[in-house]
Amino acid sequence: MTIVEDRPETAEAPPPRRANPVWGLLRNSWRQLTSMRTALILLFLLAVAAIPGSIFPQTAVNRERVSQYYTAHPQLAPWVDRFGGFEVYASPWFAAIYLLLFTSLVGCVLPRLRDHLRALRTVPPDAPKRLDRLPQHAPARTRPETPAAAAESLARLLRRRMFRTRVRELPDGGFSVAAEKGYLKETGNLLFHFAMLAVLVGVGFGHWYGWHGNRILVAGEDQGFCNAITQYDDSALGPWVTAADLPKFCIRMTDFQASYQSTGQPRSYLATVQVKEGSGAYRGSSFTVNDPLRLHHANVHLIGHGYALELRYTDRYGVTQNRVVPFLPTDGMQTSEGVAQFPDVNIDPKTNQRDDSLQVGFEGVYLPTGGTDGSAVSQFPAENNPVLYLTAYRGNLGLDVGKAASVYALNRGQINNGELKKISGERPQPLRPGGTWTLDDGSKLEFVGTREYATLAIRYDPTQALMLVGAALGLAGLMLSLFGHRRRIWFRVSPANDREAGGSVVEAGGLPRTDYPGFAAEFAALTGPATDDGHAEEGTP
Amino acid sequence: MAELSNQLMALTVLAYLAAMVCYAGEYAFGKRSRIGKAAARPARQLVGAGAPADAEVPDDVPVQPVSPPKPGRGEWSGRIAAVLNVLALVLHLGTLATRGIAADRMPWGNMYEYILSATFVGSAVWVGVLLRRPALRHLGLFSSLALVVLLGAAALVAYTPVGPLVPALHSYWFIVHVSTVIISSGIFLIGAVPALMFVIKNGYDEGRRSFPYTLGKRVPTPAAVLERLTFRLHAFAFPLFTFGALIAGPLWAEASWGRYWGWDPKEVWAFISWIVYAAYLHARATPSVKRTVATWIALFGFVTMLMNLFGVNLFFEGLHSYANAGD
């Protein structure tokens, strides 16, 4: 990735007498890998390889949608999976590309760093013989001072303009002033590339040592939770994190406020919580969508909300059970779906035996604002006219099979094979908060009310700050390298021909080492006053 | 106020359209005039002693007509076009301002407003270039064409009534992230115009006479000037895009969604655009890569930006789904 344009060709080393073919192959491969051409190709490959990640759903982004894809394309999905299409950014081929790219980068910037460090320590080279062959040239002009004084004042002028300057005495009694400026361009360029490396390493460490979990937190003191891996609906620990490493804190939500526009678009969410860290006491706090709750080694982000339904079932023996079940919103108006399952009911008090065929489950659709036309779609996300439509099932819920099952849907297999039977009529039973529904066997379901819940994403990424520093340094380096210009300027100060009268003759030349359209103007500004007959302008800044 | 904004929008498109027609008039009637001849005059040859091999065209030397021209039909058409272009820019600003007042916020909340803002930036940069270097005026045909197409697409595909922001957008990062991305997108947009013209002009100069290259016949600006302009616009926009999309964006994403980078489709395509533009800058800085190749990479980068704007908003679902297109 060498982008220094004017690096002198290194002299070809004489070919070794007996070339080791393995060594030669290795060396050639390395040269090939670190060439700009390869780097450009790898950059393109990286761009192309990123595309599938926006086309196919990604497991890391949205697991639900991957399952939907499997349902929609049962033939194609396994093949997509085989090529890592659902985990593009963790796939071996994606890693191969960026690792090769970064190897190429290292192979390029390390020698450049060495060269640049050397360049920083070397003095600007002496003036070429023919200054008039340089892209910028100011023809010889006379000055009244002695050559030594003229060279000294020129050097001072250049130094004041931050040029690195070296004055050399010439055999003919004259002086040459060599000056160079713009080392920051290459410094910035290297800084940018090393910052990219730091960011890559940061991503790696963040992945290894970070963790995250998602959870629904229902309002109410009884619904709080303490940080533990089992408390999450869905979680991922970095490879080098164990469940015991998770920081200790407990959260319970005391209040949740949502406000909406008249169109139903949410305007703001505010979660008020009590939080306890380590062995401390509970303290009050609140957070909103763009302002997470920042704890020690964990950040709690509010990413959504919905309604949890509080239901009370009284079985045929008069035993009651309460459930608070979160319903998942299916649209922007908070039409929500969910289930309430009661496996341990209808236990005959005489035998104390559970009859699996008497388990009860309810499937429901909750509308915070039901319409007047009876359609099963909410009209508004706030609870203006709440109504719950329930369908009741009795039979084996199939919860004891030991298979992980969704807590938001009944087991379809049990319904299909007749183990779980619908016991309500064709149309779902509407219920208002406080309403009670008596089932065919005399048991009752009461819709006690609703509570708001917040969807939380809880995360920790130890390298986040490092990444920000890396990115900021990278940007600074990028700007230096894009807007900096390396250039050299030489003055040759010779004694005037007429030795008696004194004075000196000054000739100047300039060489922009990178593409720099403003160089002519700068050169003119420098040489104009400096070699003018009137002299001495350099004294007045 | 929202109504006024919509009417101004229509006027803006019409003004750009009128400017485009006049630019086209200049393009059609203007012979390879004095402007062209003056511009085609070989750049001052630099005496090289270790100088970069490719002769630099000093772009600070303004390319100007040699003698005060007696304006012909093409010249007049071009002048009217430039005036109309400035008028369109003012109307464009009016559209944005009234939209912002109607919504009582910065007008960057959805795809329609985004396109409106990005094209405004592009248009403003173009007018800036035009004022500094009138000799480039003929590029106006293509810049106004791009603006008319994008604004037309915004009105037809992405129009959204004025509305407040969703809560996720209630953040000061909204201003930082969205404004920098809009500004850099606008500059990339206008940078694609000289890039395309360079490819055409350069192809024509190299003797290609098939269709797109024949357009180069009437382009008076030397290819090297177009190429330099392309680079300067891209070199300016790239750090801005880096900041807006890859620093401010992740900072906001961390606060809002809990992770700084999550491969959301919009993020994926911003990443792709960034990679492609980075490749352009690398290619241009490498002497062994031809300038034409480098410029093609820049054009490809612009295609990825368009993909991010239209493709991602319309076809993919993700966290950046504020576009509301088609609702």
For the domain made up of A124-181+487-530, give the CATH fold.
Answer: TATA-Binding Protein (3.30.310)
Q: Where are the domains of chain A?
A: 28-118, 124-181+487-530, 188-209+463-477, 211-460
Position A10 scores a pLDDT of 52
pLDDT digits 0-9 by tens, B311-327: 888 777 777 766 554 33
- Pick from A409, A449, A434, A312: which is nearest to A64 by CA? A409
pLDDT surpassing 50 at residue B33: no
Output the pLDDT for position B41: 45
Res B60: pLDDT? 46
Q: Report pLDDT digits (tens) over A198-227.
A: 999 998 898 899 998 889 999 998 889 999
Query: Quick check: B67 pLDDT over 80?
Result: no
For B59, nearest residue in chain A (alpha carbons): A517
Q: Could you please report the per-residue DSSP string of A4-56? A: -TTPPPPPPPPPPSS--HHHHHHHHHHHHHTSHHHHHHHHHHHHHHHTHHHHS
- Touching check for A471 and chain B: CB below 8 Å? yes
Sign of CA dihedral A109, A112, A113, A116: negative
**Is residue A457 within 8 angstroms of chain B, CB to CB?**
yes
More confident residue, A530 or A440: A440
CB contact under 8 A, A301 and B316: no
Burial class (CB in 10 A: 0-12, 13-18, 19+), A449: middle
How far is B287 from B299, CA to CA, in rounded Å? 19
The yes-or-no verdict on residue B45 having pLDDT over 50 is no
- As a whole number of angstroms, the distance between CA A457 and CA A232 comes to 10
Evaluate if residue B38 carries a pLDDT over 50: no
Which distant-in-sequence residues (6+ apart) come within 8 Å of A261 by Cβ? A267, B163, B164
A420 touches chain B (CB under 8 A): no
Please answer yes or no on whether B260 and A47 come within 8 Å at the CB atom.
no
Q: Per the CB < 8 Å rule, is B168 touching A44?
A: no
Nearest CA in chain B to A461: B259
Across the interface, which of A61, A268, A464 has its CB nearest the CB of B262? A61
Residues B7 and B31: their CA atoms lie apart, in Å, by 37
Residues from chain B contacting residue A47 (CB–CB below 8 Å): 271-272, 275-276, 279, 304
Tell me the β-bridge partners of A300: A293, A458
Q: Regarding predicted confidence, which is higher, B236 or A144?
A: B236
Residues of B within 8 A of A472 (CB-CB) are: 247
Return residues 305-364 of A near B (CB < 8 Å).
none
**Where is pLDDT greater, at A400 or A174?**
A174
Task: Give the per-residue pLDDT at A500.
Answer: 62
Contact A518/B60, CB-based, under 8 Å? Answer: yes
From chain B residues 37-56, the ones with a CB under 8 A of any chain A CB are 46-52, 56
Residue type, A234: D
Which range, A3-12, A249-258, B212-221, is most confident? A249-258
- A135 → closest Cβ in B46, B171, B281: B46
The CA distance from A192 to B235, in Å, is 15
How confident is the model at residue B167, as a pLDDT? 65
Q: Looking at residue B54, what is its pLDDT?
A: 41
ipTM: 0.81
CA dist A7 and A114 (Å) reads: 14
Rounded to whole angstroms, the Cα distance separating B189 from A185 reads: 27
Instruction: For chain A, say whether B288 makes contact (Cβ under 8 Å).
Output: yes
pLDDT per position as a tens digit, A270-327 = 999 999 998 889 999 999 888 899 999 999 999 889 999 999 999 888 899 999 999 9
Q: How far apart are CA A77 and CA B4, in angstroms?
A: 50
Least confident of A32-46, A173-187, A525-539, B171-185: A525-539
Higher pLDDT, A173 or A80: A80
Q: What is the pLDDT of residue A529?
A: 55
Local structure of B311: helix, strand or coil: helix
At a CB cut-off of 8 Å and minimum separation 6, what does A92 contact? A84
Q: Taking all residues of chain B, what is their mean pLDDT, rounded to a whole number?
A: 82
Q: What is the pTM of this model?
A: 0.82
Q: Where are the beta strands (DSSP E) in chain B?
A: none
CB contact under 8 A, A265 and B254: no
Q: Does A255 touch chain B (CB under 8 A)?
A: no
Mean pLDDT score, B189-217: 88
Query: Would you state the pLDDT for residue B230?
Result: 94
> Which of A7, A40, A44 would you mutate first to test chain B, the one with the most B CBs within 10 A?
A40
Q: Which of A2, A133, A467 sits opposite B49 (nearest CB)?
A: A133
CA dihedral A77, A80, A81, A85 (to 10 degrees): -130
Q: Do residue A263 and residue B48 have CB atoms under 8 angstroms apart?
A: no
pLDDT at residue B256 is higher than 60: yes
Residue % of chain A over a pLDDT of 70:
92
- Residue A65 above 50 pLDDT? yes
Whether residue A266 and residue B262 make contact (CB cut-off 8 A), yes or no, is no
Query: Where do the structural domains in chain B lie, given as residue ranges?
Result: 2-37+73-315
Residue type, B293: V
> Is B49 within 8 Å of A471 when comparing Cβ atoms?
no
Count of A-B CB contacts under 8 Å: 163
Contact A135 B48 (CB under 8 A): yes
Provide the phi-psi class of B64: left if phi over 0, else alpha when psi is between -120 and 50, else beta: beta
Please state, in angstroms and as integers, the Cα–Cα distance from residue B66 to each residue in B23, B40, B69, B171, following that order: 22, 12, 8, 54
Measured CA to CA, the distance from residue A282 to residue A221 in angstroms comes to 12
Nearest-CA neighbor of A167 among A204, A124, A197? A124
Name beta bridge partners: A32: none
d(CA A411, CA A363) in angstroms, rounded, equals 11
B85-123 pLDDT tens trace? 999 999 999 999 999 888 888 888 888 888 999 999 999
Which of the 8 DSSP states describes residue A402?
A: -
The residues that bridge with A142 in the sheet, in sequence order, are A505
Helices and strands: H and E segment counts in chain A: 11, 22
Show which of residues 498-517 on chain A sit within 8 Å of chain B, judged by CB atoms: 511-512, 515, 517
- Tell me the C-alpha distance between A158 and A180, whole Å: 9
Q: Give the best residue of B45, B46, B47 to mutate against chain A (max A CB count within 10 A).
A: B47
DSSP for A130-192, written as a single string: -GGGSSEEEEEEEESS-HHHHHHHHHHHHHHTT-EEEEEE-TTS-EEEEEEE-HHHHHHHHHH
Q: Is the pLDDT of residue A235 over 90?
A: no
State the average pLDDT over residues A468-477: 94
B58/A265 Cβ within 8 A: no
For residue A133, the chain B residues in CB contact (below 8 A) are 47-49
pLDDT for res B37: 46
Please state whether beta strands A504-512 and A225-226 pair in parallel, antiparallel, or not at all (unpaired). Answer: unpaired
Q: Which residues of B touch A299 (CB under 8 A)?
A: 258
- Disruptive mutation site among B187, B260, B313, B315 for chain A (greatest number of A CBs within 10 Å): B260
Hey, is the C-beta of A58 within 8 angstroms of any chain B C-beta? yes
H/E stretch holding B248: none
Q: Which of B127, B44, B34, B60 is nearest to B88 (CA)?
A: B127
| Secondary structure letter of residue B196 according to DSSP | H
pLDDT band at B44 (very low <50, low <70, confident <90, very high): very low
How confident is the model at residue B66, as a pLDDT?
46
- Please name the helix (run of DSSP H) or strand (run of DSSP E) that holds residue B11, with its range, or none: helix B2-29
Contacts of B278 in chain A (CB under 8 A): 43
**Interface touch A517/B50, C-beta < 8 Å:** no
Contact A155, A492 (CB under 8 A): no
